[in-house]
Structure 1
Amino acid sequence: MTLETVSAPAAQWSLCAGCHQPIYEKRSLRTLRVCPACGAYARLSAPERIEQIFDAGSARPIAAAGVIEDPLGFSDSRPYPERLRSARERTGLPDAVVCVRASIAGHPLVAAIMDFRFLGGSLGCATGESLAAAAEEALRERVPFLVVTASGGARMQEGALSLMQMAKVTQTISDLGRAGILTCTLITDPTYGGVAASFATQTDVILAERGAHVGFAGPRVIEQTIGQELPAGFQTAEFLFERGLVDEVVPRPALRGALGRLLAAASPQAPMPRPRGLGPAPVIGRADLLPERDPWEVVRLARDIGRPTALDYAGLLLEGFVELHGDRLSGECRAIVGGLGRFQGRPVMLIGHQKGHDAAELKARNFGMPTPAGYRKAGRLMRLADRLGVPVVTLIDTPGAYPGIEAERDGQAWAIADDLRVMAGLSVPVIAVVTGEGGSGGALALALADRVYVMENSVYSVISPEGCASILWKDAASAPQAARSLRIDPRALLLQGIADGVVREPAGGAHQDRAAAAGLLRDTLAAVLVELSSLDAGRRRRERGERFRAFGAFSAGTSRKGGVA
């Protein structure tokens, strides 16, 4: 088989399935079969996808494996072997998937591209065997694995053997995950049934082409079996993105760029360069080097709306940051952001609370108060970082976890607890930085780290000063007094050993010069990542456990982790 198996168009014009306007064939090819009138997407064949996505000339076929073609001797209105012959003649393909070794923006990978033209992209023995063999090739070569889905589901003519392909391919995807190899799905229209319910939704990163339909049961099956009519927009990529089930919805012309950025962000690690050590040290490690300040004044600075957000820092610290979305369960929480990017040539997973710089963004981000979906998203990204061997950096700036009815209904406490358990067991370096407010368990959920730093104008507390004042003083106006009693400022946090160091800020605060603040944080992270990366995973986990085990315990001769000095 060659990859140049697209036959010449039978007609010079075609009709758009969306607006029914005629489209000249050459123009349709130039626009990647996106209607210039209404923007509707026509389905692409596997060879067309290969031409669109991969570097020119880089795709080399992986030979299809031999399998039993008609295991059941199946026949409906036509014998199954006859249907196979007809599909092969019409498409020029041996089955419903084409597997290749290729590259995107110079990054090598193995890819499996499904083709809906071949019996509806159905998953049969030959399809499953080719997908599994391609995943095993990615494992041998230790390169990322991409699957482009387009399928109506399992192939009925092969009976229960088609179901077994779901398990077979899922198993090989799991093998890649355990080996620390990135896996990615590009969902295209349509992706249903056994494909959606197995490997398509089990990869590390799920991108969906704009407008793609995906689900277990298709609309016709739902309507015919239980009589329900689906609402408009149901089972679309956009619908699923809002429910936290896909990482990103990407327009067709942007797919190649999106995949290239993802591969670049997760590509193998380069040695971490040692910091140059020019200028004053960015971290203050001794409390006596910090002036005593009114904690309430620090609270006001920590809450300044101009302070850099997690996304600001991502843009200033990382190259090629790729934000990932969704908890793969129930929703997308915009109060926590996270994704992969390259820090001084090395991939890192950055996760942080996100507030905003104006009223509209603050409201959209829930004022930086995450829901359970946000904490589940953070946990998902931490697990991905651990599988890929990528350090985790968390940026903390939240008044606390969202205390609403919906959050309690959806298991807020369970979500926070799971993040703590995940962080305790991570094998990769973990660095947490409080960049603004560190409020209660909502902050701690991202702060069980090897090293914990606080910015010079940040606070970290069991409760907000206002909350403490309302409960203990019975008067929220006593918040300044509560702040002083809680000892939540950087100097006090350093004395208690809660902070390993205080990161300097530009004169007047990080909000006065975001770029300079990011530079000081960059120097801090660079030095600590070199230190932590020199330790083996077992020692990192052990020392992380010892760090938190010591808090509050009495130790003669020292008060570092025992309480007030």
Structure 2
Amino acid sequence: MTEKSWRHCPGCGAVVYGKRLARQLGVCPECGRHDRVPAAKRLEQLLDPGSSRLIDCVTDGGDPLRFQDTSAYPDRLAAARAATGLTDAVLCAHGTVHGHSLVVAAMDFRFLGGSLGTAVGEAITRAAEAALADRIPLLLVCASGGARMQEGVLSLMQMGKTSSALAQLDEAGVLTISLITDPTYGGVAASFATLADVLIAEPGARLGFAGPRVIRQTIGAQLPSDFQTAEFLLAHGIIDMIRPRAELRATLARLLAAAAGQATEEATSRVSPAVTDPELLPAPDPWELVRCAREPSRPTTSDYIELLLDGFDELHGDRLGDDCPSIVGGIGSLAGRPVVVIGHQKGHTPTELAARNFGMPSPSGYRKAARLARLAAKIGIPVLTLIDTPGAHPGITAEERGQAVAIAESIRLFSALPVPVVAVVIGEGGSGGALALGVADRVYSFAGAYYSVISPEGCAAILWDDRCAAPHAAAALGLTARDLLSRGVVDGVLPEPAGGTGNDHEAAAAVVRDAVVAALDELAPLPPAELVARRRTRWRAYGSDRVLSTVEG
């Protein structure tokens, strides 16, 4: 069908002029349905004009089994090649996106359903090797019905081959991105498609190991109407984001810039506003301070992200089946420096607070945080954590899913990250739920925030046998910013705007920006091994006879 002809949308039934559909990048202007895109057209849509250079990486896998069903396998290959003009189901190319270099391997579903055979496995592997050789990111555009059965177990082996190639990119610190298009199933879904650092899906794209028909026929299950769609996968923590086709290039450009360590603006130095002498701080009433820290008007992590960062892309999910709403994180640019930001998320209204579980993370939240921290370490960019939680979620499901293990693993991971880590207590710093994001090179607290081994109410219930004794417990716990600074738990205390951070979000964000940028200016030049050694020395000192002030020097 030519571009000038009228097209019938399979999604909504609308009749759309072909040229208009082409201008929309194959997206129906009526219902937003994303058409399948040939590999060559996909390269054209994603890469800068004139930048694409094809990589000769598709080989002829032959006919190892002399396979024949209703047609001989060589005949099927010949027909697919004649219909598509491709040698096999993938095209690989060097190119740029907004000037950022990368290697792209784009699959084409028209070629035998984008099935994974030896030629496709070889092409994906060579693309990964090309990205490794040049130390530039790899983008995988995935579309597949699964393994190529006509090649038998050799097709199965391509899952291991391609996965091994991506492992090498992990070891080398090369960013990998997977663009999930409709459909992506079977051996491709269970190998390179889901092993990338960032998983982006087009709206409505389906991804899974077993297809719905196989599941229904095998176990007789009734499936949800949105089963295995991008929207379903996002809600279940499997993918990072959904992006309409028109937004893909901009999203890729931001991720590629972060991986290259390239700023979106000229970085500027800041003078830290943090108070480092506890004698310069007032001695507030501890219970009133706790109430201040819980004030719903205080900026949340999402508020700070909006005020602090440029070009932020939130990354979702623990890749294990859940996306905890109590922790948010992603990649953005802070005063010209790419960073990963991770923080507890509450809300301002009762509805928002309930939706975010009052900022009490489940194990999946900490596993999401750990995944994002590992990504920061891989591509070599700093981490900023924003702490605001009464504590990790106490519940049966959380315990069943390993709450203690998730917190412990997060603490261990942050202690060994080879990149600068700055933590800011913006509200409540409750127990191990807070510490899971608090193992850092620099730790700051707002003057109106608190950090404690347990909530005052919990302490009162256990030691006083009376929750009403919470004010007494607050006074006994040494949880004020002044207390924290005098004991070396925090490196500095951030002053609050008149009336508290909830009274002026922009002023509060400016204080955080200046303190964090000043800290990163000091930390960024340090070699990774020295960063880790200093961080471990810092944490080794707590409770010993060592003087914390010597840790930084």
- Structure-2-length-normalised TM-score: 0.95
Compute the displacement of 1:11 (Å): 8.2
Q: Which residue of 2 aligns with 1:390?
A: 381
Q: Deviations over 1:92-117 (max 9, x none)?
A: 11110111112222222111111100
Compute the displacement of 1:463 (Å): 0.9
Of residues 265, 289, 292, the one that matches 1:298 is 289
Note the 1:77-116 alignment, pairs <5 A. 77-116=70-109
Q: Deviations over 1:216-258 (max 9, x none)?
A: 1112222333343433211111111111000012223322332
Stretches (4+) displaced over 6 A? 558-561
Determine whether 1:122 maps to 2:120. Answer: no
Determine whether 1:442 maps to 2:453. Answer: no
Q: Are 2:270 and 2:515, in contact at CA under 8 Å, matched by a contact in 1?
A: no
Q: Which residue of 1 aligns with 2:418?
A: 427
Q: Are 2:309 and 2:334, in contact at CA under 8 Å, matched by a contact in 1?
A: yes
Q: Which residue of 1 aligns with 2:214?
A: 221
Q: Which residue of 2 aligns with 1:139?
A: 132
Gaps spanning 5+ residues in structure 1: where? Answer: 1-7
Note the 1:242-257 alignment, pairs <5 A. 242-257=235-250
3-state SS in 2 of match to 1:99: strand
Compute the displacement of 1:454 (Å): 0.9
Q: Which residue of 1 aligns with 2:368?
A: 377
Q: Which residue of 2 aligns with 1:550?
A: 541
Q: Which residue of 2 aligns with 1:275?
A: 269
Pick closer, same or farther for the CA change 1:552–1:227 going to 2, 3 Å.
same
Gaps spanning 5+ residues in structure 2: where? Answer: none
3-state SS in 2 of match to 1:189: strand
Of residues 276, 298, 315, the one that matches 1:285 is 276
CA distance in structure 2 between the partners assigned to 1:103 and 1:260 by the alignment: 9
Determine whether 1:414 maps to 2:408. Answer: no
Amino acid at match of 2:269: P
Percent identity (aligned): 56
Q: Deviations over 1:171-227 (max 9, x none)?
A: 111111111111011101110000000000000000111111111111222233334
Q: Are 1:188 and 1:213, in contact at CA under 8 Å, matched by a contact in 2?
A: yes
Q: Are 2:268 and 2:336, in contact at CA under 8 Å, matched by a contact in 1?
A: no
Q: Which residue of 2 aligns with 1:358?
A: 349
3-state SS in 1 of match to 2:33: coil
Compute the displacement of 1:468 (Å): 1.3
Compute the displacement of 1:54 (Å): 2.3
Determine whether 1:488 maps to 2:482. Answer: no
Amino acid at match of 2:45: Q
Compute the displacement of 1:538 (Å): 1.7
Compute the displacement of 1:479 (Å): 1.5
Q: Deviations over 1:65-124 (max 9, x none)?
A: 434422222222222111111101101111101111122222221111111000000011
Pick closer, same or farther for the CA change 1:11–1:71 going to 2, 3 Å.
farther
Deviates more, 1:197-206 or 1:408-417: 408-417
CA distance in structure 2 between the partners assigned to 1:263 and 1:534 by the alignment: 22
Q: Are 1:46 and 1:113, in contact at CA under 8 Å, matched by a contact in 2?
A: yes
Pick closer, same or farther for the CA change 1:272–1:439 going to 2, 3 Å.
farther
The alignment of Structure 1 onto Structure 2 pairs a total of residues equal to 549
3-state SS in 1 of match to 2:429: strand
Compute the displacement of 1:59 (Å): 1.9
Superposition RMSD in Å: 2.0
Note the 1:153-552 alignment, pairs <5 A. 153-269=146-262, 275-277=269-271, 281-552=272-543
Q: Which residue of 1 aligns with 2:6?
A: 13
CA distance in structure 1 between the partners assigned to 2:379 and 2:414 by the alignment: 15
CA distance in structure 1 between the partners assigned to 2:526 and 2:250 by the alignment: 36
CA distance in structure 2 between the partners assigned to 1:506 and 1:531 by the alignment: 26
Compute the displacement of 1:429 (Å): 1.1
Q: Are 2:268 and 2:335, in contact at CA under 8 Å, matched by a contact in 1?
A: no
Compute the displacement of 1:329 (Å): 0.4
Of residues 49, 58, 61, the one that matches 1:56 is 49
CA distance in structure 1 between the partners assigned to 2:529 and 2:248 by the alignment: 39
Q: Deviations over 1:275-295 (max 9, x none)?
A: 254xxx501111111122211
Q: Are 2:329 and 2:342, in contact at CA under 8 Å, matched by a contact in 1?
A: yes
